[in-house]
């Protein structure tokens, strides 16, 4: 059983259903549904989808502009795309359909009221009924109820929730606009411009718990950059990031495995979460399959298989500390083609950050 039909839940559900396991996905929303997300899919995330999503990509960005706190800009450019732009509403609907086509069931639920773990099964009690399964993957996002109900009462599992807010700005010729990370707006974090087919997504990422953000700030930004105050679909949600500091902590308890933002597995540097949701969802599925075949305990297998991901998150955590403490000198250094070119090349290939730092 999987709670949450975002990237983590559907990635896990797809692998399990394709392997012939009986899978039930529960979500509190009907699909299609909106989700606060800029829809930037990095090359390494694109490589992780178990099915082709290329028809959902509205724009491939080979060029990214970075605005330093001083206001000066530099451009990172690659022959291969650095980011693929999708609409989360479309991506999540397509992914859910793929999971259902591979044999999983989907059920909309209202409130989760209780969770009961026994030695050989887990039971979830909702307003709509009771659901029992051998394993539960909690993939219910940053404000995970499964994390709160199953894990936190029994074990310290610190997660960091960083705020993010976004809106759409209708523009003529979105195809002429570059993807941009803007560190010049005087917040710990950045503003973004992600170009889509007929509009741009603008947004704010706060690199700590308490960065203030509002629709007014987005409107001012739209005015500054696009000479319009017409912003639409303003949406905010926390991103649940990790820095690998809980390396030894299991992302779950007994038969409950947390994945994606529920496990605090987005990265704290830029707030990328889709890659980590896919990675942890698929890893959780593999751990359950292994345990079901008698190869040890699912949660232990899961934690062991995430070691590389934790290392990546530690490197993102370190990079975030440096970037947001010393933004101008860091970005001045990054402006050198020799420096950013090295990272962007690996990034475009889909290399994990640990490979970029330690390529041996
Ligand atoms: C404004 C914003 C912009 C972002 N932009 C990007 C980006 O461009 N690229 C990127 O990689 N990441 C981005 N992220 C982060 C990314 O969206 C998340 O990391 C990612 O969605 C996590 O996936 P998930 O499957 O773990 O959880 P989610 O995508 O949050 O999915 C959780 C699912 O669980 C369901 N659910 C929640 N609570 C319950 C409940 N109690 N009962 C039943 N179901 C429940 C929800 O309805 C949802 O369908 C952004 C985040 C925000 C907020």
What distances in angstroms separate CA 169 from CA 111, 130, 191, 218, one per listed residue? 34, 43, 14, 10
Residues 6+ apart with CB under 8 A from 62: 77, 78, 79, 80, 81, 82
**pLDDT tens per residue, range 114-161:** 999 998 999 999 998 999 999 999 999 999 999 999 887 777 777 899
Please state, in angstroms and rounded to a whole number, the distance separating the CA atoms of residues 163 and 60.
26
State residue 155's pLDDT score: 76
**pLDDT tens per residue, range 174-196:** 999 999 999 999 999 999 999 99
354 alpha-carbon distance from chain centroid: 18
Q: Residue 227 Cα, ligand 1 centroid: separation in angstroms?
A: 30
Question: Which of 33, 38, 267, 313 for a ligand 1 pocket mutation test, highest count of atoms within 8 Å of Cβ?
Answer: 38
- The 10 Å Cβ neighbour count of residue 228 is 12
Question: Which of 163, 200, 239 for a ligand 1 pocket mutation test, highest count of atoms within 8 Å of Cβ?
Answer: 239
State residue 156's pLDDT score: 76
Among 96, 1, 15, CA closest to 48? 15
Please state, in angstroms and rounded to a whole number, the distance separating the CA atoms of residues 275 and 56.
16
In this model, does residue 245 exceed pLDDT 70?
no
Instruction: List the structure tokens of 80.
Output: 């291969």
**What is the mean pLDDT of the segment spanning 295-303?**
93
Residue 266 DSSP label = B
Average pLDDT value for the chain: 95
Percent of the chain with pLDDT over 70: 99
Q: Residue 136 Cα, ligand 1 centroid: separation in angstroms?
A: 18
Q: Tokens 């090359």: give the residue.
A: 43
Among 320, 311, 323, 296, CA closest to 357? 311
- The 10 Å Cβ neighbour count of residue 20 is 10
Q: Tokens 């101008």: give the residue.
A: 328
Domain 2-357, CATH class in plain words? alpha beta
State residue 223's pLDDT score: 98
Determine if ligand 1 sits within 6 Å of the CB of residue 268. Answer: no
Percent of the chain with pLDDT over 90: 89
State residue 360's pLDDT score: 76
Determine if ligand 1 sits within 6 Å of the CB of residue 278. Answer: no
Instruction: List the structure tokens of 167.
Output: 């809106």
Which ligand 1 atom sits nearest the alpha carbon of residue 109? 43
Which ligand 1 atom sits nearest the alpha carbon of residue 163? 53
Determine if ligand 1 sits within 6 Å of the CB of residue 167. Answer: no
State residue 357's pLDDT score: 87
- Predicted TM-score (pTM) of this structure: 0.97
For the chain, the domains span: 2-357
**What is the mean pLDDT of the segment spanning 244-261?**
84
Residue 183 DSSP label = -
Determine if ligand 1 sits within 6 Å of the CB of residue 357. Answer: no
State residue 47's pLDDT score: 96
Instruction: List the structure tokens of 50.
Output: 């178990």
* HEC secondary structure over 70-118: CCCEEEEECCCCCEEECCHHHHHHHHHHHHHHCCCEEEECCCEEEEEEC
**What is the mean pLDDT of the segment spanning 253-259?**
95
**pLDDT tens per residue, range 76-104:** 999 999 999 999 999 999 999 999 999 99
3-class state of residue 350 by DSSP = coil
Q: Residue 261 Cα, ligand 1 centroid: separation in angstroms?
A: 7
Determine if ligand 1 sits within 6 Å of the CB of residue 15. Answer: no
Instruction: Give yes or no for a contact between 38 and 272, defined as CB atoms under 8 angstroms apart.
Output: no
**What is the mean pLDDT of the segment spanning 257-278?**
96
* Nearest protein CA to atom 30 of ligand 1, as residue: 141
**What is the mean pLDDT of the segment spanning 274-287?**
98
Using 50, 70 and 90 to split pLDDT, how confident is the model at 246? low
Q: Please compute Rg for the chain using Cα positions.
A: 20
């Amino acid at each position: 059983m999987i709670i949450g039909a975002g990237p983590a839940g559907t990635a896990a559900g797809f692998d399990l259903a394709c392997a012939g396991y009986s899978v039930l996905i529960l979500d509190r929303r009907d699909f299609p549904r909106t989700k606060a997300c800029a829809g930037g899919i990095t090359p390494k995330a694109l490589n992780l989808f178990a099915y082709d999503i290329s028809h959902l990509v509205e724009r491939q960005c080979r060029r990214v502009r970075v605005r330093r706190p001083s206001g000066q800009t530099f451009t990172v450019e690659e022959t291969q795309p650095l980011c693929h732009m999708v609409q989360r509403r479309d991506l999540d609907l397509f992914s859910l359909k793929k999971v259902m086509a591979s044999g999983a069931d989907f059920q909309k639920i209202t409130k989760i009221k209780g969770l009961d773990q026994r030695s050989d099964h887990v039971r979830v009690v909702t307003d709509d009924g009771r659901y029992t399964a051998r394993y539960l993957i909690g993939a219910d996002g940053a404000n995970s109820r499964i994390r709160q109900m199953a894990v936190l009462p029994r074990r310290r599992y610190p997660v960091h929730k960083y705020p993010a807010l976004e809106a759409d700005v209708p523009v003529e010729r979105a195809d002429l606009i570059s993807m941009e990370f803007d560190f010049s707006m005087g917040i710990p974090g950045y503003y973004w411009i992600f170009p889509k087919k007929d509009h741009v997504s603008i947004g704010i990422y706060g690199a700590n718990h308490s960065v203030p953000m509002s629709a007014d700030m987005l409107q001012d930004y739209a005015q500054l950059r696009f000479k319009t105050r017409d912003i639409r679909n303003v949406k905010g949600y926390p991103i649940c990031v990790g820095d690998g500091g809980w390396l030894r902590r299991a992302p779950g308890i007994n038969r409950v495995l947390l994945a994606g933002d529920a496990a605090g597995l987005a990265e704290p540097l830029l707030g990328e979460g889709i890659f980590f949701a896919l990675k942890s969802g698929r890893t959780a599925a593999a751990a359950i399959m292994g345990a079901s075949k008698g190869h040890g305990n699912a949660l232990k297998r899961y934690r062991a298989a995430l070691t590389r991901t934790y290392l990546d998150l530690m490197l993102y955590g370190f990079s975030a500390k440096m970037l947001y403490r010393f933004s101008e000198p860091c970005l001045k250094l990054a402006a050198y083609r020799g420096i950013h070119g090295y990272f962007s090349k690996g990034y475009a290939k889909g290399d994990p950050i640990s490979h970029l730092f330690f390529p041996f």
